[in-house]
Structure 1
Amino acid sequence: FIQTDAPINPGNSGGALIDMGGRLIGVNTSILTRSGGSNGIGFAIPADLVAAFVAQARAGETAFQRPWAGLSGQPVDADMAGPLGLDRPGGIIVSGLHPASPFNGAGLEVGDVIVSVDDQPVNTPAEMIYRMSVAGLGHSARVGVMREGRLQEVTVALIAAPDVPDRAEVTLGARSLLPGLKAAQINPAVIDEMNLPLESAGVVVLDAGRFGPRVGLSDGDVILSVNGVAVEDTAALVALLSGQVRRIQMVIQRGDRRMALRFRG
């Protein structure tokens, strides 16, 4: 968002935020308020990001798609800058890369520091994604990278998260031990949609259904194994919860926690 002290009041959302020359710089969105009126702190969506939304809508998209980075990272603070060869804090140190990440394809490695996108400095992952979104899907971005104290520039393709292999979504039937549970095989698109850790693999719960929460399952849980058997795809999950086995021990991953659930059918 652009933060502005221009008065924005209820009902102004969707209106233009312009500069002194009458140029559109944003679309008013929200205000910080305790009373319901403007306190002089408002927020607007930047005009270049709005343009990216409009372009996708005109192309027939019904939901906005941001370019997929396929990496994890954190801002470089003062303690990290020196050892990384930086003269001041700034940039994003790469801590993880998905094999299908376009950054991985461009040659980035864990430990590299991303300092700019299209010559604009970036200091947080959110800033990086914003710059990529402005450039738009199907294009490429020039990314400045510091490695071992040397600055280099690479070209990164701006792509949506690949929806391969097939997510093979299933909904367990009435004869299953967890009828109504909906699950999918994990791929980059599913990782992006469900905000899963990059290293996630196997099967994720899309909808725990009516009975899943009763045994401790939640949407977004990654099912790792059932009764000691690894769940590598949705076909395996269907077979393992077929109802022929009455005692179940299920190992799941929820965020950074691994949990064991035990229940009877």
Structure 2
Amino acid sequence: MTYETLTIEKTGRLATLTLNRPHSMNAMNAIMMKEIAEALEWLHEEETVQVLLIKGEGRAFSAGGDIKAMLDPNSPMDIDTVMVDVSRLAKALYTLPMITIASVHGAAAGLGFSLVLGCDVVIAEENSKLAMNFIGIGLVPDGAGHFFLKERIGIPKAKQLIWSGKVLNGHDALALGLIDEVTAEGRAFERAEDIAAKFLASPVKAMIASKNILHTQNVHELESILALESSSQSAMRRSEDHLEGIQAFVEKRKPHYKGE
């Protein structure tokens, strides 16, 4: 499979998916969202793959949704179409019949952070910048961000993180239970590869079966949350606060919200 915004490499029972828009810190435009969904759905059919590594090319894992694409007057991002692909990728990730490991360096924000949290194991470098920062432009988390946060840290802490949009480094994220391990700068992918090798030297088929047992019972809730995120995001994209938020972002000024 060949893609415009990502790459997939297979080596035996290991696959590596790399987000590949380094010029924009792997910010996700409509093409990338669709291609991630397609790639993860394709991996469902790759029965020989038992461990998947996910990483970003360049300076970051992913800066989240591409705000410039949202503002592009020549090719406006259709929110309803985009949310279909965002929901596809989240469900495909959560139900993958393999162990997933996220290797995080630089920023993992917004939808990028949702993708990270959907993985079974998350390794982040100590100076990473992890943020569920949709609130900064008047949006709600998508990509099952609500679901993955609730699974990792529970509802009360999930609300606090969503509402604050706080940026966390690797140690802060580990302390909250958002990630599983912290490494020094430049060492996350090396550590992720080590963990992948240990899984592949273990009874990984049984591990995948346990994952399936634990995840299958939650798929209905995941689908319900994805539907709510889609409808809410569509409404928020049309709100005055969102328009003010993205305009302030582009103009590098503090936004003035009215709760409308």
Shorter-chain TM-score: what band?
A: under 0.3
Larger Rg: 1
Q: Which has the higher strand share?
A: 1
TM-score, normalising length: structure 2: 0.19
Task: Give the number of the structure with larger relative contact order, counting CA–CA contacts within 8 Å between residues 6 or more apart.
Answer: 2
TM-score, normalising length: structure 1: 0.19
Q: Which has the higher helix share?
A: 2
